[in-house]
Amino acid sequence: MFVRNESFRSFLRSYPVVSGIVTLHLILFLWMFLFPSLGGNLIFILGVGHNLSIAQGELWRLVTPIFMHISPAHFLFNSFSLVLFGPALERLLGKWRFISIYILTGILANVATFYIGGLGYSPHLGASGAIFGLFGIYLYMVLYRKDLIDQDNSQVVITILVIGLIMTFVNARINVYAHIFGLISGAALAPIFLFKLRRYVPQYRHVFDEGEISFNPNRWKNRRFSAGTKKKVFWIIFVLLVILGVIFR
């Protein structure tokens, strides 16, 4: 579910929403940091989450921070997290439901930051609230919709979630409200967005030769690499991202 083995072209074709969000991350990040005099500074000033400005009516700031990042490590960590954990849900939910719950949980995370953080809360931005919203959906699946996720992937979700929550409270620069309420929002909305979905829907395989996509409940048994190898690859990637995040704190 979480190990990506598609070609770049196939990934773009199969997961247009995830690809589009990451592309938007990249465009905004490069624009802000490489071309500040050509509108990059203005994008940052108008887009960053700022509670006092929101209170004065600039409600778009509840949305724009979801797609903006403050540093290379911040951008890479969130974008890679989306690439790892987003595709399975995009295929499970469909394009419109996926983008709807992604943006909605991100907005709710920023709303929580506004009301709990208060007018004096520091400016904030990043996709973390929306990404924790995706984890909220996974958490609901692990607890209440075991028909949609197998045991191995359930263990991965719980492990990554625990690590993510620990990091949330260890790093003083993290928006704790966005992480926690993004997670809560995802779990709360999951019953609505997962309604009537059936067993094995998220377990799929790609037929590259024919350019089609079909579903296969036994996809993990039919792959060339063993499950142990896949887990090792996944953990190596994740540990590297964590190290990168710590280095650039």
Collapsing DSSP states into helix, strand and coil, what is residue 190? helix
The catalytic residue among 81, 179, 185, 206 is 179
Residue 73 near residue 244 (C-beta atoms within 8 A): yes
Q: Which amino acid is at 53?
A: S
- The Cα 21–Cα 79 span in angstroms is 8
The catalytic residue among 19, 128, 185, 206 is 128
> Which residue, chain included where needed, has tokens 């490489």?
34
Catalytic residue list contains 128? yes
Per-residue DSSP letter, 5: -
Q: Tell me the CA distances in angstroms from 229 to 161, 202, 225, 233, one per residue in order.
A: 21, 21, 6, 6
Catalytic residue list contains 19? no
Q: Which amino acid is at 169?
A: F
- The Cα 75–Cα 117 span in angstroms is 23
Residue 68 near residue 125 (C-beta atoms within 8 A): yes
- Count the neighbouring beta carbons within 10 Å of the beta carbon of residue 163: 13
Q: Which residues are catalytic?
A: 128, 179
